[in-house]
Amino acid sequence: MTTASLQDGIDRAGSPIDLLWRPGAEPWTPEVVDREYTGWRAEQRAWHEGVALLNLSHHMYDMRIEGPDATRALAEYGANNFEKFAVGQAKQYVPVTRAGHIVTDGILSREAGNAYLLSGVPASQHWVRYHAEKAGYDVAFTTDPSSAFRPGGAAPELFRYQIQGPLALELIGKVFGGPIPQTKFFHSTPVTLDGRAFKALRHGMAGQAGYEFIGPWEHAAYVHEAFLKVGEPLGLVQVGALAYATPSVESGWIPSPVPGIYTDPLLAEYRTWLPLFGIEGKRPLHGSYYSGNIEDYYVSPYELGYGKVIHFGHDFHGRDALLKAKDDESLRKKVTLVYDPDDVRRVIGGGADPGFVLSYARHRVETAGGLAGVIMQTAAIDPVGTVLAQTLIDPAQAAPGTEVTVVWGEHPGRGTDPEADLGFPRIRATVQPSPFDRHARTDYRRNA
């Protein structure tokens, strides 16, 4: 039996929007990890005020890319600078379509001269693999899916543990018997723990100091237990799936933007190659912002804040489009919306504290002049005391302090006017910078 393709799904549904639009879709949270350990509020506070342990081992897809043409394949389909890419370094990989729309980013680590590891949601992995194989490049691909898709309950190839927060470096020093070698942001250094070798990637989230430890799964339990044991006197808190999904709202990273692949006639073969039951066919769209045209959901890497990593010193797919977009002042700006706490209680909580809030819905952002922007991710951030939202907004409304309203509701989709007033409640909000966290916005970004 032939596996259905993404193009099959689009054809049967009638359009990409009809395939993807699912009002009220449940928000994604990492699989396998417990939803909460000590409660999402305490877990969020841990990386702000103490030290937190996050288990990233199960929800990320990994694809190894090895061979003489590995760098060529990645550089031809990514906007990054490959001339300055050291072994042991990681980068936010930015692949774009010929029209300059992002396909979806990923974390790309250079493991050796012609060997890389691309991690994250698999849309960028699909993009690179398809084009490299079609071009006949001398490169091999090995994929390790997330635990939800790994056959037979098999273990991951790698463990990934993040240690984050103001006490992170103190904990790490105690675990390893002293400070690990000083490491630049998004660079890794080899470490050993009682004879077990793995690596430490200098990383941070929501502006806090920390490392991500990555190594063979056979060492996973030992390393995890070592952090728990040594971290107990420091108040180490394990972070569950709920809280884990929220720091991106503070640190300014927008997860899983809609890939710009659904309409270009030249990508019909690619859509036929992609499986329907993959990220491109199953990641739902919903919220109060509705359009029947999927292209209205496409985004530029400039809108996502990736302008600094775009390197025009090499030829790559989508280069001409990004050159044109480089100075386009009409592109939306990435901002953080701070929701009015009283409106949050009234609209989301029915008059009470709403508790945990997480949504990837595309909600309308309005001013007196009408539609001004689109919400990309929303989350309750307990240390802030309200709900924050990562938002793409018109440049005229992007100044900090600008007051806007968020339309909170679920548009039913086709058959109802996208501009219809459906009586959805409004939440007042104030524009603030993105990243919202000051350290993430200044020192953290400068070090990157």
Binning pLDDT at 50, 70 and 90, where does residue 208 land? Answer: low
If you average pLDDT over residues 387-412, what whole number do you get? 98
At 416, phi and psi to the nearest 5? Answer: -125, 135
Q: How far out from the chain centre does Cα 239 lie?
A: 17
Is the pLDDT reported for residue 106 higher than 70?
yes
User: Residue 207: pLDDT above 90?
Assistant: no
Domains and CATH numbers, the chain: 6-26+65-151+253-325 (3.30.70.1400), 40-60+156-241 (3.30.1360.120), 333-447 (2.40.30.110)
What pLDDT, in 10s, does the model give residues 2-51?
A: 789 999 999 999 999 999 999 999 999 987 789 999 999 999 999 999 99
Confidence of residue 64 (pLDDT cuts 50, 70, 90): very high
pLDDT tens profile 116-166 = 999 999 999 999 999 999 999 999 999 999 998 888 878 999 999 999 999
Q: Which uninterrupted H or E stretch holds 119?
A: strand 115-120
Asked if pLDDT for residue 224 goes beyond 60, the answer is: yes
User: What is the C-alpha to C-alpha distance for residues 366 and 186, in angstroms, rounded to an integer?
Assistant: 37
Task: Assign 355 to helix, strand or coil.
Answer: coil
- Report residue 72 as tokens: 């060529």
Residue 72 pLDDT > 50: yes
Q: Place 182 in a pLDDT band, splitting at 50, 70 and 90.
A: confident
Whether the pLDDT of residue 441 is over 50: the answer is no
Q: pLDDT, tens digit, for every residue of 332-363? A: 999 999 999 999 999 999 999 999 999 999 99
431 three-class SS: strand
pLDDT tens string 262-300: 999 999 999 999 999 999 999 999 999 999 999 999 999
Instruction: For residue 446, name the pLDDT band (cuts at 50, 70, 90).
Output: very low
pTM above 0.85?
yes
Percent of the chain scoring above 90 in pLDDT: 92
> Looking at 172-176, 251-255, 409-413, which range is the least confident one?
251-255
CB 388 within 8 A of CB 381: yes
Is residue 94 within 8 Å of 105, Cβ to Cβ?
yes
The answer for residues whose C-beta is within 8 angstroms of residue 200's C-beta and 6 or more apart is 172, 180, 183, 188, 189, 190, 191, 211, 212, 213, 214
Q: Residue 93, by phi and psi: left (phi above 0), alpha (psi -120 to 50) or beta?
A: beta
Sheet with 196-205: list strands edge to edge: 188-193, 196-205, 208-216, 158-164, 52-55, 237-239
Pairing between strand 52-55 and 237-239? parallel
Q: Which residues of 269-278 are buried (b: 16+ CB within 10 A; e: fewer)?
A: ebbebbbbeb
**pLDDT in the model for residue 205:** 63
Q: Is 349 exposed, middle or buried (0-12, 13-18, 19+ CB in 10 A)?
A: middle
Question: What pLDDT, on the 0 to 100 scale, is given for residue 2?
Answer: 79
Residue 190 forms beta bridges with which residues?
A: 199
Q: Give the DSSP per-residue string, 179-212.
A: PPPP--TTBEEEEEETTEEEEEEEEEETTEEEEE
Q: pLDDT digit string (tens) for 356-380?
A: 999 999 999 999 999 999 999 999 9
Per-residue pLDDT at 444 exceeds 80: no
Residue 437: pLDDT band by 50, 70, 90 thresholds? Answer: confident
Task: Report, as an integer, the average pLDDT of 165-185.
Answer: 94
Q: Does the pLDDT value for residue 204 go beyond 80?
A: no
Confidence tier at 438 by pLDDT (50, 70, 90): low
Q: What is the mean pLDDT of the chain?
A: 95
Dihedral, CA atoms, 62, 66, 72, 73, nearest 10 degrees? -40
Give the mean model confidence (pLDDT) for residues 421-440: 90
Mean pLDDT of 400-415: 98
* CA separation for the pair 255, 245 (Å, rounded): 10
For residues 231-260, give the mean pLDDT.
Answer: 96
Q: Which tokens belong to 262?
A: 């659904």
pLDDT of residue 152: 81
